[in-house]
Chain A
Amino acid sequence: METLLQQIINGLTTGSVYAVVALGYTMVYGVIQLINFAHGEVVMIGAMVAFGVITGLAGSGLPASMIVAAGVLAAVPACMAIGYSLERVAYRPLRHAPRLAPLITAIGMSIILQHVALLIWGRNPLAFPQIIANPTVSIGLAEISAVQIAIILLSFLMMGGLSWFVYRTRFGIAMRATAENVQVAGLMGINADRVIAATFVIGAALGAVAGVMFGTYYGIAHYTMGFTLGLKAFSAAVLGGIGNLPGAMVGGLLLGLVEALGTGYIGDLTNLCQWPVVDAWLGERCADGAHFILFGSNYQDVFAFVMLILVLVFRPSGLLGERVSERA
């Protein structure tokens, strides 16, 4: 019970970060049917830039909240600029090329951004300076830290803000129109280039904040962190139905929860000594209440991808995804 509650809290925290990153994948896919594999690297660069600023200001005596805010404020425009340049340089020239071409370009941009980060920040992880007092609050049997509360609140705020923007403003209507049919949207006077560029920029801004949150939660930022995080967020987007905003949010949260619960219980569940038959067979290896655990919590990353495979097999359009025929 204690594990359950605690892992739900942890899962919500990572899940809301996945959800915000997944929005970046799903928005771009929704508008131009491109999987922007470089998005994870944009998130990573957001974390790196913010960590640089935060480390630089750590000794200045400013209040911790202001230092973190400064880090975020530096990361967001940096990532927006990268998102815009990616679209301009790497994807726009290939807008009418076969779909495989921009996909390969996306992978290429991902590798380039990783190595640019390697050149700038080096191969060693950047540590988050100990400037935030991170008190924990007990709720029932579990504990939630101030950072976790901040991450969850901020993520939900961003998801709400994006939904409002897309579903309630005119620019949002233009975005949805472009996503549904670029040609007809053009005939309505919508400048598709602007809408597509804005999609990249907004996704990158969300990604920047997500990168800072993720780095702050785990205490480090590293030039390779975007790869796994990006793949998991992409899985979350597919899980929810790629191209679908609520889907990305649900998918991200669900993925975080599954991952946290899986990690929390996999050790207990695969402890072979708990089953009498196996216990007898293993004999002395289980003596005196010893454990023989088949899979430990280091299998954390497996869950996201097992889920991705299951979704692709049983419900390829995702939980909230449209039937593919509608798009064709």
Chain B
Amino acid sequence: MNGLAAQAGARSGTPESRVLSGQPSLVGETLLEARDIGKRFGGVQALKAVSLTIRRGEIYGLIGPNGAGKTTLFNVFTGLYPRDSGEVIFAGQSLRLESPHIVAAAGIARTFQNIRLFGNMTARENVMVGRHVRTRCGVFGAILRTAGQRAEERAIRGRADDLLRYVGIADRADSLARHLSYGDQRRLEIARALASEPQLLALDEPAAGMNATETAALRTLIEGLRADGLTILLIEHDVKLVLGLCDRVAVLDYGEKIAEDVPEVVRADPRVIEAYLGTGTH
């Protein structure tokens, strides 16, 4: 794994052969700024005026107890849920959040807590679908097959294979996604998300259900992604993984952000400890 990521990292020097499209030159600038995001489900206020800032090139962790609103916030960012209030500035522009394919086109890609691959399509086809947002292709183009169309299709296929190699499952390219092992499905989901050339990759509990070895390999993969200039938003239950991997961490509790800082500070924050462990009996 390490070798693959390193190899991809080495290749990122030449623009033509880069597997990822992160922009290392802009590292440190603000990529995503959420302002006062609110979301209510019936009587439950799932998010209360959450604001946060994600900088380019960092791994930004989002943690919190169960039901704190982590996945809800994720779904708002990716256009799956309409938000009730607030706004999201992404790469300097106000992000229209009304439809998932618009968000995908803006440059946010995600994976799911419960893997959602297209099970009846091959691994390669899954990645090719992920590429859809960056290509022009209509019914008529697909039928008429102009030279340009064919060349584009070849390029997409080639890039899909590159990405499968990058995440380390090139040998499973022709297997149906539902026949892959759990860990490989997670990798495939990441490859599919990368296919859309995201500026921000949002990973929803990628280590869920993984054993220690798989988690370590995943960690290497995520670090490789950062090394290649990608910005990552990580939701994770595995606090050790988050605190070890992330540059900055935000903590949600009951729909409110109670802390946002580097892991060392967050770990020591009394409000965070209280949220996780309760107040005790004074």
Report whether B101 and A190 are in contact in the complex, using a CB–CB cutoff of 8 Å.
yes
Report whether B101 and A189 are in contact in the complex, using a CB–CB cutoff of 8 Å.
yes
Give residues 84-106 of B contacting A (CB, 8 Å): 99-101, 103-105
Report whether A180 and B156 are in contact in the complex, using a CB–CB cutoff of 8 Å.
no
Report whether A176 and B153 are in contact in the complex, using a CB–CB cutoff of 8 Å.
no
A184 part of interface (Cβ distance < 8 Å) = yes
- The interface bits of chain A over 145-187 (1 if a CB of B lies within 8 angstroms of the residue's CB, else 0) are 0000000000000000000010001111110110011011111
List of A residues within 8 angstroms of B139 by Cβ? 171, 198, 201-202
Interface of B, helix, strand, loop or mixed by DSSP: helix
Within the assembled complex, what's the spacing in Å between the Cα atoms of A38 and B3? Answer: 57
A191 part of interface (Cβ distance < 8 Å) = yes
With A170-B153, A174-B132 given, is the CB distance from A186 to B120 under 8 Å? no
Report the interface size for chain A: residues with CB under 8 A from the other chain. Answer: 26
B2 part of interface (Cβ distance < 8 Å) = no
- The interface bits of chain A over 259-295 (1 if a CB of B lies within 8 angstroms of the residue's CB, else 0) are 0000000000000000000000000000000000000
Report whether B118 and A184 are in contact in the complex, using a CB–CB cutoff of 8 Å.
yes
A66 part of interface (Cβ distance < 8 Å) = no
A188 part of interface (Cβ distance < 8 Å) = yes
Report whether B99 and A170 are in contact in the complex, using a CB–CB cutoff of 8 Å.
no
Report whether B101 and A186 are in contact in the complex, using a CB–CB cutoff of 8 Å.
yes
Report whether B121 and A173 are in contact in the complex, using a CB–CB cutoff of 8 Å.
yes
Report whether B118 and A186 are in contact in the complex, using a CB–CB cutoff of 8 Å.
no
Report whether B78 and A187 are in contact in the complex, using a CB–CB cutoff of 8 Å.
yes
List of B residues within 8 angstroms of A173 by Cβ? 121, 125, 128-129, 132
Report whether A183 and B80 are in contact in the complex, using a CB–CB cutoff of 8 Å.
yes
- One of B116, B125, B156, B196 near A189 (C-beta < 8 A): B196
List of A residues within 8 angstroms of B135 by Cβ? 170
List of B residues within 8 angstroms of A326 by Cβ? 119
List of A residues within 8 angstroms of B101 by Cβ? 186-192
Within the assembled complex, what's the spacing in Å between the Cα atoms of A326 and B177? Answer: 14
With A180-B118, A180-B121, A188-B192 given, is the CB distance from A170 to B128 under 8 Å? yes
With A165-B142, A170-B137, A187-B104 given, is the CB distance from A176 to B130 under 8 Å? no
Nearest A residue to B135 via CB reads A170
Report whether A189 and B118 are in contact in the complex, using a CB–CB cutoff of 8 Å.
no
With A170-B153, A180-B121 given, is the CB distance from A190 to B129 under 8 Å? yes
- One of A170, A177, A185, A191 near B142 (C-beta < 8 A): A170
- The interface bits of chain A over 226-253 (1 if a CB of B lies within 8 angstroms of the residue's CB, else 0) are 0000000000000000000000000000
Nearest B residue to A201 via CB reads B139
List of B residues within 8 angstroms of A169 by Cβ? 142-143, 153
List of A residues within 8 angstroms of B120 by Cβ? 176, 180, 322
B109 part of interface (Cβ distance < 8 Å) = yes
B110 part of interface (Cβ distance < 8 Å) = yes
Within the assembled complex, what's the spacing in Å between the Cα atoms of A192 and B79? Answer: 14
Report whether B100 and A187 are in contact in the complex, using a CB–CB cutoff of 8 Å.
yes
List of B residues within 8 angstroms of A186 by Cβ? 79, 99-101, 104
B138 part of interface (Cβ distance < 8 Å) = yes
Within the assembled complex, what's the spacing in Å between the Cα atoms of A188 and B129? Answer: 6
List of B residues within 8 angstroms of A192 by Cβ? 101
Q: List 22 A-B contacts (CB under 8 A).
A: A165-B142, A165-B143, A169-B142, A170-B135, A170-B156, A171-B142, A172-B142, A174-B132, A174-B137, A176-B120, A176-B125, A177-B118, A180-B119, A183-B100, A187-B100, A187-B110, A188-B101, A189-B101, A189-B105, A189-B196, A190-B101, A202-B139
Closest 5 CB pairs of A and B: A189-B133, A186-B100, A169-B142, A171-B142, A189-B104
